[in-house]
Every structure is written in structure tokens, then in C-alpha cells.
């Protein structure tokens, strides 16, 4: 057998075994699933109590959503503050331009 055939076959075996192992890990409720390894549909299919690993930290899917929701709310609040400051600055510059 030539090396041109051995490498693809070996790669297929290695990746096939890894995919099988990860599928088994996902099936057991106590396992932790790396969030980066999931597709959108796989993530949606997880139960709220499924353990996932995101950025090296383990949490349930429910905790992930709670943290992301809080982060988005904080970002939205910051954007509203920035917008209010920018509008006030714009109005001050507009007034200075019109009177100057």
C-alpha cells in the first residue's frame, strides 16, 4: 500500500474514532461538552442542565444564557449612556457653531 493511501485512511480512522467518542460523551448526562465543538442545532438540542465548557469554564446551558443575557444588558446600558453623551456633545457643538 502506498503512503498516498495510508495517510487518508489513518486520518479517517483517527477522526472517526474521535467523533464516535465525542458522540458518546454528549449522550451521557454527566459529561461536559466543549461549546466550540457544537453546531447551532446541537446546542439548541441540549437540555438547560447540560454541562458545557465555554472559554475554559464549565457551566450549564442555563447559566450560559443567564451570563450572556446580563452581559448584553450591560452592553446595551453602556451604549445608551454613550449615545446620550454624544447627543449632548453634538448639541453643544451645534449651538457653539450657530452662535459663533
Q: Rounded to two decimals, what is the model's pTM?
A: 0.55
- Say if 8 falls within a structural domain: no
Our count of domains for the chain comes to: 1
Give, in order, the Cα–Cα distances in Å from 68 to each of 10, 37, 47, 64, 74: 40, 19, 17, 6, 10
Give, in order, the Cα–Cα distances in Å from 46 to each of 25, 34, 61: 13, 12, 8
- Say if 60 falls within a structural domain: yes
- Say if 72 falls within a structural domain: yes
Kindly report, residue by residue over 27-82, the tens digit of the pLDDT: 454 588 887 888 999 999 999 999 999 989 999 999 999 999 999 999 999 999 99
- Say if 23 falls within a structural domain: no
- Structural domain harbouring 70: 31-99
Amino acid at each position: 500500500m502506498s503512503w498516498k493511501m495510508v495517510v487518508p485512511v489513518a486520518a479517517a480512522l483517527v477522526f472517526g474514532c474521535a467523533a464516535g467518542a465525542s458522540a458518546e460523551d454528549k449522550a451521557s448526562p454527566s459529561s461536559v461538552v466543549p461549546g466550540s465543538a457544537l453546531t447551532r442545532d446541537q446546542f439548541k438540542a441540549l437540555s438547560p442542565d447540560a454541562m458545557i465548557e465555554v472559554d475554559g469554564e464549565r457551566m450549564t446551558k442555563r447559566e450560559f444564557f443567564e451570563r450572556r443575557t446580563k452581559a448584553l444588558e450591560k452592553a446595551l446600558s453602556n451604549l445608551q449612556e454613550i449615545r446620550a453623551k454624544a447627543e449632548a456633545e453634538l448639541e453643544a457643538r451645534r449651538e457653539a457653531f450657530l452662535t459663533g
